[in-house]
Amino acid sequence: MSTTEAALENLRIIRSLMEKAHIYRAVSAPAAMTGGVLALLAAAWPVQHAISGKGESLFGDSVFLGLWLGIFGVATAMNLALLAREAARRSQPFVSEGMRMALRAIAPPMLVGGVVGIGLIAILHDLTLAALIWVLCYGLALLATAGFSPRSLVRLGWAFVMAGLVLFLAWATTGDIRLLSSDEAPASAVMGLTFGLLHVIYALAVFFTKKPAEVLPK
């Protein structure tokens, strides 16, 4: 498929979604709440460990990486289960046009964030920079769905991007943080404030403001 044909196909799908008054919520509120709570719990222990005056690493790079990939896996599995349940309720295919478009939109930033972030941890042992890359790429992935996703998801994307930029500047200009013997606590703080707190806020906002048509992801 040529670039022009791909663009026309995307426009056709967007028009179809708009004509049906449907939006595609790529991140469901229940999955966001679950992932957010898990992220806050995972971030709390290393941060508390550092506040108590212990500068050494609590988990180690490999455990840090495995922990956060595990949380991502749990939240993703729950999100897919909710999407499958809603598709079955509507007698629609699980891999719908909306899902295919969402996957095409989020794949590039998620692929870049995943590879660079894992490489920073596994090879360069820079946990905080990896966390910041994850935050920024995740925000960009959400913004890539702006043409067919609800405003709440677009706002979440902007929240991740802006939080990532602010946290990056704070980290880059604070020598005391970058000179710590272990950056596990700063990296955990970044993950907790973004993937934890922002997801919880997003889920609560959706729960309290959702319309009947947005009870579950479409």
**Residue 84's pLDDT is what?**
83
When pLDDT is averaged across residues 85-104 and rounded to a whole number, the result is 80
Which tokens is 77 given? 């599995």
107-142 pLDDT, tens digit per residue, is 999 999 999 999 999 999 999 999 999 999 999 999
For the chain, domain boundaries: 26-209
**Residue 42's pLDDT is what?**
95
Q: 166 with 41: CB under 8 angstroms?
A: no
28-53 pLDDT, tens digit per residue, is 889 999 999 999 999 998 888 777 76
Is the pLDDT at 75 greater than 50? The verdict is yes
Is the pLDDT at 97 greater than 80? The verdict is no
Confidence of residue 16 (pLDDT cuts 50, 70, 90): low
Which of 77, 74, 82 has its CA nearest to residue 36?
Answer: 74
Q: Please write down the HEC assignment for all residues of the chain.
A: CCHHHHHHHHHHHHHHHHHCCCCCCCCCHHHHHHHHHHHHHHHHHHHHHHHCCCCCCCCCHHHHHHHHHHHHHHHHHHHHHHHHHHHHHCCCCCCCHHHHHHHHHHHHHHHHHHHHHHHHHHCCCCHHHHHHHHHHHHHHHHHCCCCCCCHHHHHHHHHHHHHHHHHHHHHHCCHHHHCCCCCHHHHHHHHHHHHHHHHHHHHHHHHHHCCHHHCCCC
**Residue 113's pLDDT is what?**
97
Q: 138 with 160: CB under 8 angstroms?
A: yes
Q: Which of 13-22, 122-131, 134-143, 164-173 has the lowest mean pLDDT?
A: 13-22
* Residue burial 23-60, b: 16+ Cβ < 10 Å; e: rest: bbbbbbbbbbbbbbbbbbebbeebbebbeeeeeebbbe
**Residue 72's pLDDT is what?**
96
